[in-house]
Amino acid sequence: MKLSKDSFKNFISQHPAWFMVLPALLLLLALNIFPLIWSLGLSFYKFTLIIKEPLRYVGGQNYIELLTSPEAWDRFIKTGAYIFISLLLQFALGFTLALLLAEEFKGRRLLTTILMIPLMIAPVASALFFRYLLDYNFGPINAILDRLFGIRIYWLGADPSPLFGLPYALISVILVESWIWTPFVMYIILAGMGAIPTDLWEQAEVDGLSFWYKLRYLILPYIKPMIALILMFRLMDSLKTFDTVYVLTAGGPGTTTELISVYIYKLAFIEWDFGSATALSYLVIVLVIFMTNVFMRYLILKRG
Amino acid sequence: MVESLLLYKLKKYLRVAVLVFLILAYLSPLYWIFTTAFKTRAEMFSNPFYLTQVTLENFEEAARYGAFDAIKNSVIITVGGVGLALLLSVFAAYAFSRYAIRGKNILMFYILSTRMMPPIALVIPIFVMFQKLGLKGTYTGLILMYATVSLPFSIWMIKSFIDDIPKDIDQAAILDGHSLTYVLFKIVIPMVLPGIVASMVFSAITIWNEFVFALLLSSIDTRPTSVLLSSIRGERGFNWGRIAAIEVVYILPIIIFVFLVQKHLLRGLTFGTVRR
């Protein structure tokens, strides 16, 4: 077969779509799909960068070691507790704010816009500054607590807090993450409430329905799919939490705030054990894919 | 009747008052960043609450600490990443919106799923790859990486804007004998320009703020601001004035962007699933 310049041109004009997609696809292939496949391969090897040790195929050993290691389970449980409490907090705060912002009043637009700021500035910047706010000696939060109640708290320490005995450092991580993400919950709930027909709202107002009645029979049915959406996004993103922990506590004191992403980081770039680190990454990826599927199915059912 | 109206008004004002109080408390960390940046060292420790004496010494110190090199690196990486991603995603988005591409659904699902992937999982193989290819610590490496990371999102977002334009418009232009390039650049792109700008701003903010890739793929000379901030440890603890000054320079552009394109940001955050 002879490939002339003309037949090439012909091919392009007959399949313009593929040529428009191709450059993007190539980049994704090179720096996303290929690395992920390669790291799946790596997870079946013993591989380290520090000593010139040859790759050694070990089969599923990395996975077996992780799944039987109390250390890895401890990180999973910590991450679970962290996600559970931060989602509760974000829901409670975000929902309250959304209800308060539901009706029109002067300055509402400005307030909702300002609330976008925590979501948009770098988590590293927020976390670093919370280190100052939570500082034992100079931090304003302890200064306020001291003036009001005469107490100071080691916010970034390992002492158990009244909340299920979780260490204060983990509580601080939860606080910072919730500070960043509460507006996200609020915005989606607001968007859901925006879909409630105005005449229904007005009817409820005219009928003088109680707040709880409105919540149960008017608001909740409309925001149910939104809640699933929020849960999906927040679960995924919480599982990825890294920046704030790295800056706020670096996983410490000890391993009290070593969430799963931080643990993977330590396995890979402190212990240089790339095999275990990629294996653990894949366990997390499988978990993410599973959860996405569950939520997607629910959302599609709701819409279809 | 009058009584209930009064009660109604009172309730409304009370609600707004509670709301304003909550939001002020909520945003107080920002107040602290901005006041601390302009505080003298003495006042930092003696008076944590207000600012009485404005000084620029924190900014001078931040400059000596290399803050402006880091900002410069952030700008280079962000502009490069956004530019490359934009160039590739406009074409791809148009193709996805207008043509029946085989396996389109799988592709779109893949694109969406990259949003879910923990960056730490991706950075491990990339780290090894970049080291072998000599891309580690270079602007090129970071720009390629960030373009890749923002591509799926840009394609998805720009596609959702192109979907809003009726197909008949470009079909009519093609029937008139105009080329595909003409249709794309003279008709479609101008119409979705607000969407393109929104997705650019969104990608820019994401790259500007990104930390995991920056931490592991940059070098001392190419590190962006997020990495500089994470590495700050003073000789004697933290110099909070200096940190606050760097943060002000780092987050102020973002705050301005928020006010400029706020109505598109939610669509971006939820990957186009929620529109306001």
Phi, psi of A116 (to 5 degrees): -70, -20
- Average of pLDDT values for A137-157? 89
- Average of pLDDT values for B54-77? 91
Chain A hits for B146, Cβ within 8 Å: none
Orientation angle between helical segments B139-163 and A16-28, nearest 10 degrees:
140
- In the stretch 140-169 of chain B, residues with CB closer than 8 A to chain A read 144-145, 147-148, 151-152, 155
pLDDT band at B2 (very low <50, low <70, confident <90, very high): low
What local confidence, expressed as pLDDT, does residue B199 receive?
Answer: 86
Phi, psi of B218 (to 5 degrees): -100, 170
Q: How far is A60 from chain B (nearest CA, A)?
A: 18
Burial (Cβ within 10 Å: 0-12, 13-18, ≥19) of residue B103: exposed
How many other β-carbons are positioned within 10 Å of the β-carbon of residue A8? 10
Q: How far is A303 from chain B (nearest CA, A)?
A: 12
- Average of pLDDT values for B17-23? 87
Yes or no, beta carbons of B211 and A119 under 8 Å apart: no
3-state secondary structure (DSSP) of residue A156: coil
The H-assigned helical ranges of B99-211 are: 104-113, 119-133, 139-163, 167-175, 180-182, 189-191, 193-209
**How many contacts (CB atoms, under 8 Å) link A and B?**
237
What local confidence, expressed as pLDDT, does residue A304 receive?
Answer: 46
Distance CA A66, CA A78 (A): 16
Interface test with B, best of A109, A115, A129, A189 (most B CBs within 10 A): A129
- Average of pLDDT values for B193-198? 86
- DSSP code string of B223-267: --HHHHHHT--BTTB--HHHHHHHHHHHHHHHHHHHHHHHHHHHH
Best-predicted range by mean pLDDT among A184-198, B185-199, B217-231? B217-231
pLDDT band at B276 (very low <50, low <70, confident <90, very high): very low
- In the stretch 131-170 of chain A, residues with CB closer than 8 A to chain B read 131-133, 138-140, 143
Distance CA A43, CA A274 (A): 8
Nearest CB to A124; choose among B96, B180, B211: B211
- Average of pLDDT values for A281-302? 83
What local confidence, expressed as pLDDT, does residue B274 receive?
Answer: 58
Residue pLDDT, tens place only, A14-71: 777 888 888 998 999 999 989 999 999 999 998 887 777 778 888 888 999 999 999 9
Yes or no, beta carbons of B238 and A131 under 8 Å apart: yes
**SS3 helix, strand, coil % of chain B, rounded to 5?**
75, 0, 20
- Average of pLDDT values for B172-177? 87
Residue B25's closest chain A neighbor by CA?
A: A179
The H-assigned helical ranges of A68-219 are: 70-101, 108-114, 117-120, 123-133, 140-149, 168-194, 198-206, 211-214
Burial (Cβ within 10 Å: 0-12, 13-18, ≥19) of residue B153: buried
Distance CA A108, CA A111 (A): 5
What local confidence, expressed as pLDDT, does residue B17 receive?
Answer: 86
- Compare B276 and A239 and report the one with higher pLDDT: A239
Yes or no, beta carbons of A101 and B244 under 8 Å apart: no
Distance CA A250, CA A215 (A): 41
- Average of pLDDT values for B187-208? 89
A152 has a pLDDT exceeding 50 = yes
Which neighbouring-strand residues pair with B234? B237
pLDDT band at B275 (very low <50, low <70, confident <90, very high): low
Distance CA B258, CA B247 (A): 16
What local confidence, expressed as pLDDT, does residue B266 receive?
Answer: 66
Residue B19's closest chain A neighbor by CA?
A: A100
Handedness of CA A171, A172, A175, A181 (dihedral sign): negative
Which neighbouring-strand residues pair with B237? B234
Residue pLDDT, tens place only, A78-121: 999 999 999 999 999 999 999 888 877 788 888 888 898 999 99
Residue pLDDT, tens place only, A197-253: 878 877 877 787 777 888 888 888 888 888 888 888 899 889 999 999 999 998 878
Percent of chain B with pLDDT over 90: 34
* ipTM for the whole complex: 0.88
